[in-house]
Structure 1
Amino acid sequence: MRWAALLLSGILVLRGPAPQGGMPPLVAAAAELQHPIGILPPPPALDERRRALGERLFADPRLSGDGSRACASCHDLRTNGATSRRRDTGLDGLDLPLNTVTVFNASLNFRLGWEGRARSLAAQIEALLRNPAIMGARPELVLARLSADPSTVAAFREAYGRPPDGEALLDALATFQRSLVTPGSRFDRWLAGEAGAITPEEQAGYALFRGIGCVACHQGANVGGNLFQRHGIFHALAAPEPQVLRVPSLRNVAVTAPYFHDGSAATLEEAVRGMGFAQLNLVLDDAQIASIVAFLRTLTGSYRGTPLTPPP
């Protein structure tokens, strides 16, 4: 896959003087591929009543079996959409097997979760609610709790025209998660034509990111999240299982430490060094790592007008 990234990084050399009538088709296609990373789209138009209900439910501990936690307990929307812990703690008091990924921009991934088992937000939400270690919720118990609250019943009736049921519960949470998009990063502003939005050093980091092959897996508007990949292609990287993972998005990566599926990389510099060696068989020097990290820091966006930050 590395050759594909090298091709993308140099494809504009095909461009030449355009004949009368515009660029030839091949050159026009090449121009469109100038940037394999696209601008993050704004949040989609959503039914505000359902979005608001989903936001309310996202913070509601009644969705967990013992009432001790909500979705927001592990996905802090005030900071980075996750936590700063290597692995969060399950209901059984033990560490969960995988690092908690940020919920921001998750709706733009082609699959959900590290292993990509869910094909839709609703399926992922239902799996997490039922998971005995994460939320441990029995649907009938959750719906009974919600149905006993007149204000919650009224909110469901306003949004769905009926009292709480499983389908409406999942749809409301999924609708809210579709709103968790973080546009406005400096890199997106640069892609949109604001020349001074990123520095020459950051532009050099972007060129290096493309040139060595990182962009073969981390591309598109979400800078990843759109394919599966085996980790440890050339050298071991992090915990050996699971062997194949959904490539994570690098959006907001500068504020979502620790890194990798087991949370074993504490810093972005450590993660870049490890990825270069394990996935590309490259020993990156400190200057190269600093250059790539400088670029990655430009990918931090904003939620409701406030830039994302790492948890305290």
Structure 2
Amino acid sequence: MLAPPARSREDGVPVGVIETQSRLPQSRGSKIDLGRDLFHDRRISASLTLSCASCHDLETNGATSRRFDRGISGRRLQFNTPTVFNSVHNYRLGWEGRTRTLKDFAIGTLGSEHVMRDRDRSAERFAADPRMFARFEEVYGAGPNRTTIADALASFMSTLVTPAPFDRWLRGDRAALTPQQVRGYERFKRAGCASCHQGVNLGANLFQRRGIFHPIGGKGPDDLRVPSLRNVAVTAPYFHDGRVASLPGAIRVMARSQLDLTLADEDVRDIAAFLRALTGTYRGRPLRQASVRE
């Protein structure tokens, strides 16, 4: 099973360590394998043109490099796509935090008029596929339906965790971070970034108002879920509307708008270096920025 994240406090800041996946029982492994195949299957969308992987590229960063991905109708989605990696540790899912569990998130996404617009057609397609029907029967004792499809997807997504150098450092491996990254972590805490970006995912566990001290601009709700900073160095562009293209730029905007700080160039470089220590690995390979595909 997926080991729970270790929790501790680092100089008063609650932090968590992401653990690697231990050996799975065969029944859970079969469910995860089914979910993995569903994640990449375009039959899951009404148009047969989109899969979960269309917006969540597991070969790169668990998202894309577009400001806005496009849904079933070809129209831009409302928000920039967050990475799917480590989402199992999020308090709420999506920028507006409308769902609490990966299963509910999958149900909502599949049924969304703007994303997959499934309306249970995918269950009919998989039921008509003898091989897929047999796999659902093996795992669930029943054929495919909206609930079992979402459950299999959630089981797979729960395995998408990316341990990073920062996790090794928290466990006591002081060589895991460079001196600059350690300085960046200290500055990250002193500046107040950790007041919102803490916990296992360094974020994604509370809501916050945008532009507390200075307006950020752009359209969108005033209150949004604080995003996780894990893999942030490879998941540009940034913010709910993808308005900032660079990591240093995002650091400066957040410092001014949320903390009323104008950071020195050296501080920005050090914090950016620390954030790069949050870039993890998946299947033994470091995550990387996705290429821009329009």
Does the pair score TM above 0.5?
yes
Which residue in 1 is equivalent to 2:5? none
Q: Does 1:305 align with 2:284?
A: yes
Q: Which has the larger radius of gyration?
A: 1
Task: Check the 8 A contact 2:210/2:222 in 1, yes or no.
Answer: yes
User: Please, which of 295, 298, 309 is the counterpart of residue 274 of structure 2?
Assistant: 295
Residues 122 and 170 in structure 1, CA contact (< 8 A), matched pair in contact too: yes
Select which of 109, 112, 134 maps to 1:154: 134
How much identity, in percent, do the aligned residues show? 49
Matched-pair contact (CA < 8 Å) for 2:91–2:100 = yes
Greater shift in the superposed pair: 94-103 or 273-282: 94-103
The equivalent of 2:223 in structure 1 is 244
Counterparts of residues 103-114 of structure 1 (less than 5 Å): 103-114=84-95
> Which amino acid letter does the alignment assign opposite residue 153 of structure 2?
L
**2:101 is the alignment partner of 1:123:** no
What SS does the aligned partner of 1:299 have? coil
Q: Deviations over 1:5-38 (max 9, x none)?
A: xxxxxxxxxxxxxxxxxxxxxxxxx977555322
User: Quick one: which amino acid aligns to residue 72 of structure 1?
Assistant: A
Deviation at 1:90, TM superposition (A): 2.2
Q: 5 Å matches for 1:1-312?
A: 34-43=12-21, 45=24, 47-139=28-120, 141-183=121-163, 185-312=164-291
CA distance in structure 2 between the partners assigned to 1:226 and 1:74 by the alignment:
23
TM-score, normalised via structure 2 length: 0.92
- Per the alignment, in what secondary structure is the counterpart of residue 117 of structure 2? coil
SS at match of 1:245: strand
Residues 165 and 94 (structure 1), Cα distance of their counterparts in 2 relative to 1, 3 Å cut? closer
Distance of 2:119 and 2:65 partners within structure 1: 28
Gaps of 5+ in 1: 1-29
Question: What are the superposed Cα offsets for residues 44-76 of structure 1, whole Å, 9 maximum, x if unpaired?
Answer: 757001000000000111110111110110000
1:116 CA drift (Å)? 0.2
Q: 1-side partners of 2:286 and 2:152: how far apart?
A: 25
Structure 2 letter corresponding to 1:255:
V
Residue type of the alignment partner of 1:167: T
Conserved? CA contact 1:143–1:166, under 8 Å: yes
Structure 2 gaps, min length 5: 1-7
- Paired residues in the alignment total 281
Once residues 263 and 68 of structure 1 are traced to their aligned partners in structure 2, the CA distance between those partners, rounded to angstroms, is: 24
Higher helix share: 1
**Alignment RMSD (CA, Å):** 1.5
CA contact (8 A) 1:238 1:264 kept: no
Instruction: Compute the TM-score of the two structures, normalised by the length of structure 1.
Output: 0.87
Alignment partners' CA distance in 1, 2:234 and 2:9: 32
Q: Is the CA contact (8 Å cut-off) linking 1:238 and 1:261 kept in structure 2?
A: no
Cα 1:252–1:270 shift into 2, 3 Å = same
CA contact (8 A) 1:253 1:296 kept: yes
Is this contact kept in 2: 1:114–1:246, CA < 8 A? yes
* TM-aligned CA distance change 1:166 to 1:31, over 3 Å: closer
Counterpart-to-counterpart distance in 1, 2:219 and 2:147: 37
**Displacement over 4 Å in runs of 4+:** 30-35
Paired residue secondary structure (1:197) = coil
Distance in 1 of aligned mates of 2:167 and 2:128: 46
CA distance in 1, matches of 2:9, 2:15: 13
> Would you say the 8 A contact 1:82–1:100 is kept in 2?
yes
Q: Tell me if the contact between 2:13 and 2:194 (Cα under 8 Å) persists in the aligned partners.
A: no
Question: Any conservation in 2 of the 1:81–1:103 contact (CA below 8 Å)?
Answer: yes
